[in-house]
Amino acid sequence: MKHFLKETDFLPHEVGEVFALARDLKRDRGQSGQTPLAGQTWALIFSKASTRTRVSFEVGIRELGGSPLFLNKNDLQLGRGESIEDTARVLSRYVHGLVVRTYDHREIERLAASGSVPVINALTDFLHPCQVYSDAFTAAERWAGPKGDLLASLKGRKVAFLGDTSFNMANSWILGGSLFGMKVTLSGPVNHAPGPRIRTLLEAEKRGIDFQFTTDPMEAVRGADLVYTDVWASMGKEEEASARKTLMGPYSVTSKLFAAAKPEALFMHCLPAHPGEEVEQCVLDHPRSVIFDEAENRLHIQKAVMAKLAQAARR
């Protein structure tokens, strides 16, 4: 069974197909007549809050002809201690796919290992692959133009990731950047540098440690095609918010820092943003900020991912 738990669950040529399909689905939205999820129900199991992910998946499943079923983890017996394995086996008897947002990445690996339907990672503390695919697609739309090769347009481009460089979005850029052939430089406090787990995964996949880390944000943004940031205190880290504000202050994407990137550089943020903390409002509003295109593209990319997984499951 094919799953989408991490960026590299699609091979490079499959990523090209996902991006191309997302471009078609975006262009023909609602008129493509493509209903690869016709007659199917896909369950969304969420343990954390969500605006973009939940709504884009629910809408996307409907647009592909299927029915979404939203389940709050605490309303399931899973929230009262039923095992992940039994939950996966039971739900696989009812639904055709699972979209899961949780804390521990191992939970989605265990769901995927025990169930018999595709599982999609809708964010864990470790990775957020739907977001980074959407972000890379958003950049590629601009760099490749309407007919160009989306994946090829990413090759050799530099991404500067600032702030909390040890959590899901940073890890997804490290792994995704490696898959897309991009140069990833991260900059944040040394005690929030990329951790051993992402390094172990890169080594296990024989990708090598091909990202850079620096505590100097100016060095990171120099020559960057894309400047990226995320909240300083992610979901589950709220109690550290005040300490992180002090620690990560120097990594705020100010207009001065953004101006030090390439003159045509894009600004991205997965959202939700905290203006005045990780990024200045004027950068969020900048003409080269593409934050709402990233949000929109979650819908098109995830539809393409689901169509591919449903096709693989039928084989």
Catalytic positions: 101, 128, 131, 230, 270, 298
Site string for ligand NVA, 204-233 (x = CB under 6 A): --------------------------xx--
Nearer to ligand NVA, 187 or 234 (CB): 234
Q: Which does 167 bind (CB under 5 to 8 A by kind): ligand CP, ligand NVA, none?
A: ligand NVA
Cα–Cα dist 239/263, whole Å: 37
Specify the stretch interacting with ligand NVA by CB under 6 A; choose among 161-169, 212-220, 248-256, 288-296.
161-169
Q: Which does 51 bind (CB under 5 to 8 A by kind): ligand NVA, ligand CP, none?
A: ligand CP
Q: Does 178 bind ligand NVA (CB under 6 A)?
A: no
**Residues 2 and 309 sit within 8 Å (Cβ to Cβ):** yes
Burial class from Cβ neighbours inside 10 Å (0-12, 13-18, 19+) for residue 293 reads middle
Helix (H) / strand (E) containing 241:
helix 241-248
**Residues 278 and 169 sit within 8 Å (Cβ to Cβ):** no
**Residues 267 and 286 sit within 8 Å (Cβ to Cβ):** yes
Specify the stretch interacting with ligand NVA by CB under 6 A; choose among 64-72, 112-120, 155-163, 167-175.
167-175
Nearer to ligand NVA, 231 or 283 (CB): 231
Cα–Cα dist 44/58, whole Å: 8
**Residues 208 and 198 sit within 8 Å (Cβ to Cβ):** no
Query: Which of 235, 241, 284, 313 lies at the binding interface for ligand NVA (CB under 6 A)?
Result: 235
The footprint of ligand CP on this chain (CB under 6 A) covers a number of residues equal to: 8
Min dist. Cβ of residue 213 to ligand CP (A) = 23
Closest residue to ligand CP, based on beta-carbon distance: 53
Q: Does 56 bind ligand NVA (CB under 6 A)?
A: no
Query: Which of 11, 27, 35, 51 lies at the binding interface for ligand CP (CB under 6 A)?
Result: 51
Q: Which of residues 82-101 bind ligand CP (CB under 6 A)?
A: none
Pairing of strands 119-121, 158-162: unpaired
CA 76 to chain centre: 26
Nearer to ligand NVA, 114 or 171 (CB): 171
Q: Does 47 bind ligand NVA (CB under 6 A)?
A: no
Q: Which does 135 bind (CB under 5 to 8 A by kind): ligand NVA, ligand CP, none?
A: none
Beta bridge pairs of residue 213:
186
Nearer to ligand NVA, 37 or 279 (CB): 279
Q: Which residue has the tokens 């738990």?
A: 5
Q: Which residue has the tokens 């997965």?
A: 270
Q: Does 167 bind ligand NVA (CB under 6 A)?
A: yes
Q: Does 277 bind ligand NVA (CB under 6 A)?
A: no
**Residues 53 and 120 sit within 8 Å (Cβ to Cβ):** no
Q: Does 168 bind ligand NVA (CB under 6 A)?
A: yes
Which residue type is seen at 226?
L
Q: Which residue has the tokens 């690869």?
A: 36
Give the chain's radius of gyration (CA, Å): 19
Which structure tokens are listed for 90?
A: 């039971």
Q: Supply the angle between the helices 129-144 and 168-180 in degrees, to the nearest 10.
A: 50
Positions touching ligand NVA (CB under 6 A) are: 123, 167-169, 230-231, 234-235, 270
Positions touching ligand CP (CB under 6 A) are: 50-53, 123, 131, 270-271
